[in-house]
Amino acid sequence: MFHYDRGLFLTAPGVAVDIPRRQPCGFISHAHRDHMGRHEFALATPETLQLYRYIFPGRRPAQEMPYGKTIEWNGARLTAHPAGHCLGSAMLLAEIDGTRLLYTGDYKLGPSATCECAELPNADILIMECTFGNPRRPRVPREAAIDQLLDRVRATLQRGATPVIYAYPLGKSQEVTRILTSNGFGVVQNRKAYAISEIYKACGVELGHIERLDARRLPGHAVILPPQKHVSSTPLAKRKVETFAVTGWAAFPEAESRLGVDHAIPLSDHADYDELLSTVHRVQPEEVYCTHGPKSFAKELTAAGFRAAPLTAQRQLWLV
């Protein structure tokens, strides 16, 4: 049905899943770099393919998989379902010889300002991303995290400083931007996030008015930068700034000092612990395989009566 070789493979249909190395045929759940290779042939949603071809320019042969539209592939039936993680993000339902396998990829349940809500079909085998499979991570409701972001951005501007928000250029940048613009804040984005925001808009996602990073546009605006970018190499170098990290890891205590920022906002695009448990109860699988996150999560599922095991340890981005 499937095998693991430094990544997940659907054996019979010959599809590599989210492998960041070139493959003859690779399914791409979403366009974060740790899930994509320059494949000879790619399977992905139309939105993810637009992002894939922006990030890896050149001829990129591919088959579009719009949400909910099943394709036949080497004897398997493959369907993409929304994953709620970023534009185009998809879970993959593979039906092979009467067995249904659901691979979640990175996902989140509940609302998003910039992408479709996740859908969870039933499956016999569930391969799930468990980044926040730690019950000790404090749960912060999305509304509370959004209020915290808005309050702190407002207070920073009132202090005469520029809010500098570190966010991954695909997904978190657009989510934070939409939350800010729909609450009356002006937003300036760095080049990469701006280019990806143009793709969001071309795909019909409303983001509000955004400007590109430029010294003349800074007063009164919040600025979005990628996590590794230091303000000294930007037009912000001589301005008074307060820095923000917007990440699920901010739910843990002392997040500001650990993340090295003035404000840590626990807004995540990954499922929290309760959502992970809810996923298993809703999908009703006979077997669960866990990727990412703590190995203890599979043990907790086993204790709850599910047949569960970690698939492997993999590296996950620190800012998710």
Residue 309 is given by DSSP the state E
CA distance 118 to 107: 7
Nearer residue to Zn ion within complex by CB, 118 or 236: 118
Specify the residue, 20 or 208, whose C-beta has the smaller distance to Zn ion.
Answer: 20
- Lookup result for tokens 């009467």: 98
Q: Computed from CA positions of residues 281, 286, 287, 291, in that sequence, does the dihedral angle turn out positive or negative?
A: negative
CA angle 164, 170, 171 (to 5 degrees): 85
CB 129, min distance to Zn ion, A: 9
Q: How far apart are CA 139 and CA 276, in angstroms?
A: 13
Shortest CB 270 distance to Zn ion, Å:
8
CB of 85 to Zn ion, least distance (A): 6
Q: How far is the CB of 271 from Zn ion (least distance, A)?
A: 12
User: Among candidates 94, 111, 109, which has minimal Cα distance to 1?
Assistant: 94
Q: In what order do the strands lie in the sheet with 99-103?
A: 71-73, 76-82, 90-96, 99-103, 125-129, 287-291, 308-312
β 76-82/90-96 pair status: antiparallel
- Residue (28 or 123) nearer to Zn ion, CB: 28
Name which of 149 and 319 has its Cβ closer to Zn ion: 319
| Residue 106 or 275 having the CB closest to Zn ion | 106
SS (H, E, C) 135-175: CCCCCCCHHHHHHHHHHHHHHHHHCCCEEEEECCCCCHHHH
Query: In the complex, what is the shortest distance from the CB of residue 187 to Zn ion, in angstroms, rounded to a whole number?
Result: 22
CB of 43 to Zn ion, least distance (A): 17
Q: Phi and psi at residue 147, in whole multiples of 5°?
A: -60, -40
Positions touching Zn ion (CB under 5 A) are: 32, 106
Nearer to Zn ion, 47 or 106 (CB): 106
> Least distance to Zn ion from the beta carbon of 175, Å?
12
Q: Which is nearer to Zn ion, 51 or 153 (CB)?
A: 51
State which residue, 152 or 270, has the beta carbon closest to Zn ion.
270
Rounded to a whole number of angstroms, the minimum distance from the CB of residue 307 to Zn ion is: 27
Rounded CA-CA distance 20/151 in Å is 38
DSSP output for 179-204: HHHTTT-EEEE-HHHHHHHHHHHHTT
Which residues does 201 contact at the CB level (< 8 Å), separation at least 6?
207
How far from 200 is each of 49, 128, 156, CA to CA, in Å?
12, 26, 28
